[in-house]
Structure formats: structure tokens, C-alpha cells
Structure 1
Amino acid sequence: MARGYEPVPVSDNARFDLTVVILALLTAFAPLSIDMYLPAFTAIANDYATDTHRVELSLTAFFFGLFIGQLLYGTATDKFGRKKPLYVGLAIYVVTSVACAWAPNIEWLIALRFFQAIGACAGIVIARAVVRDLYTPQASARVFSFLILVMGVAPILAPLFGAYVTEFMGWRALFWIVAALGVACALTIHLVLPETRGRRYDVRMRHSGKTYWAVLKDADFLRYSLTGGIAQSGLFAYITGSPLLFIEVFGLSPTHYSWLFGANAIGIIGFSQLNGWLLKYVASRKILNVSLPILACVSMVMAVAAYLEAPIWGILIPLFAYISTLGLVFPNAMAGALSNHQERAGSASAVTGSLQFFIAGLVSMGVNYVSTFSDYAMAWVIGGAGLIAVACYRLLRRPEVVDAMR
């Protein structure tokens, strides 16, 4: 129930302005924390006298931290506003990043990466909630496309930057750098970002479970969240499995791997901006109806390439197509998931984000397991992700299936 606060005006005019840039930077903390250290896997393994499979567990721990952490921020940001929980998250992120730089062994690094993710995910939850505070569902889909544009700089520059930092300063310097970025971001938010939670509702923290369950019972939310999360899990399979496949199997140097990573990021940036243009003329749902079958087709091409143990170009071409098509799928799936939840946008954002990264954690573990049997584990998992995403989108719109899940 509202308690004496006027609602923030909701706009149908999505502009690329300073607020959107700040929101994109907040959302980019998790990708930066992932992408920057991928080229350092071999160096970390050598430093700790272990193998890259063990180092991959630090990435899996990060995904599960993102899953759990977002549930902590959901009702908190609906109750206390957007900025206070964000400051708490950034403080956790800075402290744990410094601790990662001092980690004495791989076990400590894995544990600290879990807690680092709990800090990083504050930006993900709160940025999405702010978008829902300020924009209508159709406009919010365009804003999410803008966020992907700014976020896309991270996969382009972060691995390349991480490769050079690792080579000249050592991999531990990477964590000092992201800690400094966390401090700078907190200061910028304090000076520039307004509080957008214009209405206060009687949100009780002890009722968080009931709030999350109410969100999950929304059939549209479940359909769009699962579709977007499973589709994007292919991206996390790529993040987890690509260092092994491209560096150790195909023999790319960390620098060349970073350029490859950046090329795929250009694809998702381009298609996300195409999505923003299309949304001026076409409904978000119609874009999903076309882009999801394309995603499934290219994922199956990649599965066939894995079966044939294709050379590098046989993997790169469908991989580029899959990652690029996510620029059409994910913004529209996210907008659809949050469309019915303006009054509890923080909670809805937390649930959809947690679902996304819970799936990502399972996928990361799956890639790690399958890689013991096949060097093409990444391609096999992406093949499955594309098919299951389309199945969720199609099946969950059937009334009998929706009723069965209530």
C-alpha cells in the first residue's frame, strides 16, 4: 500500500542519457568481473599449481553468488529505496575484490568470488528496477537495448585489457582494478543518480518469500524469465568453456582469444541496437516470436559442429550468430518479465536475475563436467540451451501448462 509518496512519472520516451549510462555501468559490474579474468585462467592455474578445470570453479561460484545475492536485494530495494542497498552492495564488492587479490590459494579464491558476486549483483537488481520505475514496458525494452550497448564494451575491452594486465602486472592486479572501479562508481552514484523509488509500499522483509512467490505465480513472468534465462545460459556456457576450447584446444594465445571475445561482443551490441530500432515499429512479443526460432537453429548447427569435431571456424560462425541473436531475445524477454510488476519491480528484478544466474551456475557446472568427456563441451551445452529456450516460450503460453504450474 502506498504511504504518502507521489509516483515517479513513467515515460514512454527512452533516451540515451546520463542516467541510462550509469545504469549500464551498474549492470556491467558482473560482466566485468567475469570477462576481465578469463584470459588469466592459465596464469591463475600456474600460480596455484592446479589446472584450469579447478579455476573454472571460481566462475561457477561467482554465478551462484549472483543467484543468491539478488534475492537478498529484491525486497530490500522495494522497502528502503534504490540507493541505500546499492551502496551496501558496492561496499561488499570493493572489500571482497581486494581480498581476491590477496587470496593465498585456489580454495580461498573460489570462496571469495562467491561473496564478490553478492556485492556485484546489487547493480544488476537495482538497475533493472530503476528502468521499471522510469519507463513503460515498451520503452523499457528499448532502454534494456541501450544497456546492452554500454555493457557490450565490457566483453570487447575487458578480456583484452585483462590479458595485457595479466602479462605485465600479474592476474592479482585485475582485482585491485575492479575494486577501484567500485569506489569510483559509488561516488558517481552519490553525485548524479537520483532516488527513483517515488512510492513507498508497506514491504516487510520477513515476507520476502511470499513476495517472491507472488511474482513466480505470474504466468507471464515465469514464461519470459525462463525463456530469457535459458537463452542467456548459452552465453554463460561460452564464457565458462571458451578459454579451454579456444586457448588450450585450438591453440589461440590469450590476446587472440580476447580479440575473438570482442568480435562476438560486437555482434550482440549490433543486434541489441537493431532491437531498439525495431521496437519503434514492432511489438516486443513479435520480435521474440521471430528471434527465438533463429536462436534454436544456430544452436543446433553448433551441436552438429561439436558432433563432427569441426575446426575452429565451424564453431565460430554459429557461435557468433547465437551470441548476436541474444541481442534480440534478452531485452524483450526482460521487459516482458517485468511488465506486470511496477509496484514490486525490485523483487521481480531479483527473482528473474536469480533464475538467470541459477541456470548459469548449473550450466557452468555442466560445461565443467562435459569437458571431461569432450573438448567441445561449450558447443554441446549451447545447442541444448537454444532448443530448451524455445520450448519454454512455446509451451508456457499454453493455458493447460500454465494452470498446471500455478
Structure 2
Amino acid sequence: MTQATSRLIFVLSAVVSLGPLSIDLYLPAMPSMVTVFGTSVDRVQLTLSSYLLGFAFFHLVCGPLSDRYGRKPILLAGLSVYVLMSVLCALSDTIEELIIFRFFQAMGACCAPTLGRAVVRDVFPPEQAVKALAYVSSLMALAPVAAPSIGGLLLLYGDWSLMFWALALCGVFVMGLVIFCVPESLPEKQSLHPKQITQNYLTLLKSADYMGNVLTAACMYAGIFAFLSGASFVLITFMEVKTEHFGFYFVCIVVGYISGNLFTARIGYRWQSRKVFRLGISISCGASFLMVVFCLMQWFSVLFVVVPVAFVAMAVGIVMPNATAEALRPFAHMAATASALMGFIQMEAAAASGLLVGMYLQGSPLPMALVIFGTGCCAVLCYWLILPSGSRKDNV
């Protein structure tokens, strides 16, 4: 790997990190926001769900725009929106205002992972894309490690709004990286005619190979998000973990995710890709099933929640780079559109899992555990029922 390639991977990792950073940084503040805004848990959860909805829907717009006008201009436009909305989030006086501004903040943030994946597909040949995506994901995972800890520390010196000021500064920093370090990589311009855009999306939706990879990855991602949406209430409120210590438990989760990414990057090119895929799905189902058993036995311990989720995160780290590379492989001519639809489906699945956890999470981690296990089972079904049998055969 050349120095220029390593630098590009580092910069793209910083770009795509805005997404998880915008979710994880303010997680420690969510319980206190219930009191500050004089509202309920489910209303505070809506600040997360609205972010996911905005993140999901604007994928469908920024992908075709990028396939027409280029990766860099659309990425910079999205980051500008992100910075502005982060400031407005920090200035919100009511929970309703925060919910609305979070939606538009996500519209700007979603350009980062969508176009980051597209740049990887543009720049790297197919056989190297899996490794590149795995390295990007590994570096990106440092954001969830640091974000909750930083969020907990910020709460010692200010209130929840301080976190959104920090996100605005991060957005400005990433804009600088994009301006000076990210090349324009659009291979060929696509039409913005509604008929052509519709045809492109229909082509993707009709591809069993594409949809099998995307839906399997979306279910796996939804499992991790079920934990993220309920973690602060389970660990801080139910298990009485101190706010400033909350972030440390995320280290185990992210170590699991990074381990899965590095396994894919180091071993994936020697193993047959579908063998790696099946390994990840099996780990996810097994670990989440154990967490359900622990909850049913009423063995309520931080370790009995965090350790199984760490293995689920490892499974996601194994599956996601493979699924992304395989899904985008046949669609180099519209990589941003394919990446956008993938991101849209992932975010919709994540929003659904977060909504389920928010609706039923009352006094026990069991609802969260059941949702995580359910998403793992759905991933198995998508892999075996949707992905064509030829694509499930081991291949290099």
C-alpha cells in the first residue's frame, strides 16, 4: 500500500466517521435531556430516529447528484449543511426543535459515508476494495470509541448543547480535509433525468445479488443500532453506570468491530469471501442468543450485555466490507447511486430497530436483546432466501 493510498484511506475514514460521531457523542446526555426538556424517554429517542430518517432519505438524492456532478462538490455541499444544522441543534430551546434540526443535520451528514464508499469503489480495483473498505471501517470505528467518553467528559463542563458545538467543529475540520486531500474520482457522468434515475434504482432493486448483500448487511447493522439506541438507558439508568464511565464500555464493542474489520482485511483475501460472510452471520446469531438467555435468566450484569454485543459487533465488522464490496462490484458506472440505496436501506432498518427498542425498553435489557437477536435471524433469512445460490457459493 503506497503512502498516497494510506493517506486517502485515513482521510476517507475521517469523512465517514461523521455519521457514527453524530450518533454516539450525545448518547451519554440522553437520560439528562429527559429532565432538561421536561419530556419522555421516547421523545428523546426521536432525536435519534429523526436523524436516521434524514440520513436515510437524503441518500436517495445525494447518490444521483454525485454520479452527475462529482463526488467532491456534493460532499462539500453536504458538509456545509451539516455544520449549519449542528449549530442550530446546539441553539434549540425545545425537544421539537432539536428533533427537526437533527433531521436536517443528518441530510448533510449522509453525504459522507455514501460518497466515501463511492470513492473507494472508484479508486480501488474490485479485488482491493474489500481490504480498503475494511481498513476505512477499522479507522472509522475509533469514533465510537472516543465519542461516548468525550461526551461524558463534556457533560462535566457543560450541558447537552456543548456536544453539538463540538460536532460543528468536527464538520469544519472534515471540510478542510476534503478540500485539500480528496481527489475527484467520478468515472463518467450519469443523467439526472427522472426516468434515468428511476431506471437505475429499479435495476438495483431487481438485482437479487445486490439486494441479498444489501439486506443482509442492513439487518446486521440494525442489530448494532438496537444496542446504540438503548445502551444509555440500559447501562446508565438500569445498571447505574456512571455517566463519565459510560464511554469505556463502548471500547469493548468497538474492539470487537475493529477485530472483525481487521480479520476481513488480513484473512479475507486468503479465505473464500462467502465463507467469511457465513462466519460473521453465525457469530452474530450465537452471541445475541446468549444475551437473550442471560436476560431470561435475569443475570443482569454489564458484562452479560457488553460482551455478547462485542461479538455481534465483530460479526458486523466481518460482514459489512464483504457485503459492500460485493454489492457495488457490478455497478461501477453508478457507484454513488448503488451506495446511496444501500445506505438508505441500512438506515431504515436501523431506524426500525431503534424504534422497537424505544417502544418496549422498560426496566430490563430483554427487549433490546430480543431485537438484536431478531435482526441476526433476519440476516440469516436474507442471506439464504434472497441471495442467489450461485452467489452464495464460495468464491475468491
TM tier relative to shorter chain = over 0.9
CA distance in 1, matches of 2:126, 2:230: 34
- Give the alignment partner of residue 363 of structure 1, picking from 353, 365, 384: 353
CA distance in 2, matches of 1:270, 1:397: 26
CA distance in 2, matches of 1:214, 1:13: 36
Superposed CA deviations along residues 307-350 of structure 1, whole A, max 9, x for unmatched, are 22322132222122111221111111111111111000000000
1:13 to 1:353, Cα distance in 2 relative to 1, 3 A:
farther
- Give the alignment partner of residue 382 of structure 1, picking from 357, 372, 378: 372
**Identical residues among aligned pairs (%):** 30
Q: Write the letter of the residue equivalent to 1:106.
A: I
Q: Which moved more, 1:174-183 or 1:316-325?
A: 316-325
Task: Specify the alignment match of 1:346 in structure 2.
Answer: 336
Structure 1: unaligned runs, 5 residues or longer = 1-11
- Give the alignment partner of residue 152 of structure 2, picking from 148, 163, 184: 163
Q: Write the letter of the residue equivalent to 1:157.
A: A
Q: What is the Cα deviation at residue 160 of structure 1?
A: 0.3
- Give the alignment partner of residue 42 of structure 2, picking from 53, 64, 75: 53
CA distance in 2, matches of 1:202, 1:249: 52
Task: Specify the alignment match of 1:323 in structure 2.
Answer: 313
TM-score computed with the length of structure 1 as normaliser: 0.92
Q: Which moved more, 1:343-352 or 1:201-210?
A: 201-210
1:177 paired with 2:148, answer no
Asked if 1 retains the 8 angstrom alpha-carbon contact of 2:53 and 2:103, the reply is yes
Task: Specify the alignment match of 2:127 in structure 1.
Answer: 138
CA distance in 2, matches of 1:212, 1:139: 26
Q: Write the letter of the residue equivalent to 1:392.
A: C
TM-score computed with the length of structure 2 as normaliser: 0.94
Q: What is the Cα deviation at residue 215 of structure 1?
A: 1.2
Superposed CA deviations along residues 346-365 of structure 1, whole A, max 9, x for unmatched, are 00000000000011111111
**Where do 1:120-135 residues align within 5 Å?**
120-135=109-124
Task: Specify the alignment match of 1:84 in structure 2.
Answer: 73
Counterpart of 1:281 in 2: which secondary structure? coil
Q: What is the Cα deviation at residue 71 of structure 1?
A: 0.7
Asked if 2 retains the 8 angstrom alpha-carbon contact of 1:14 and 1:140, the reply is no
Q: When the two structures are aligned, how many residues end up with a matched partner?
A: 390
CA distance in 1, matches of 2:3, 2:288: 32
Asked if 2 retains the 8 angstrom alpha-carbon contact of 1:269 and 1:324, the reply is yes
1:277 to 1:15, Cα distance in 2 relative to 1, 3 A:
farther
- Give the alignment partner of residue 19 of structure 2, picking from 17, 30, 34: 30
Superposed CA deviations along residues 53-106 of structure 1, whole A, max 9, x for unmatched, are 321110011111111011110110100010111111001101100000000111
CA distance in 2, matches of 1:127, 1:14: 19
Q: Write the letter of the residue equivalent to 1:38.
A: L
**Where do 1:96-135 residues align within 5 Å?**
96-135=85-124
CA distance in 2, matches of 1:120, 1:256: 28
CA distance in 1, matches of 2:279, 2:22: 32
Superposed CA deviations along residues 212-264 of structure 1, whole A, max 9, x for unmatched, are 11111111100000000001101100100111111111110112221001221
1:166 to 1:229, Cα distance in 2 relative to 1, 3 A:
same
**Where do 1:171-210 residues align within 5 Å?**
171-205=160-194, 207-210=196-199
**Where do 1:305-320 residues align within 5 Å?**
305-312=294-301, 313-320=303-310
CA distance in 1, matches of 2:383, 2:238: 35
Q: Which moved more, 1:370-379 or 1:24-33?
A: 370-379
Task: Specify the alignment match of 2:270 in structure 1.
Answer: 281
Q: What is the Cα deviation at residue 399 of structure 1?
A: 6.3
Asked if 1 retains the 8 angstrom alpha-carbon contact of 2:129 and 2:325, the reply is yes
1:358 to 1:305, Cα distance in 2 relative to 1, 3 A:
same
Asked if 2 retains the 8 angstrom alpha-carbon contact of 1:75 and 1:346, the reply is yes
Asked if 2 retains the 8 angstrom alpha-carbon contact of 1:306 and 1:380, the reply is no
Q: Write the letter of the residue equivalent to 1:147.
A: V
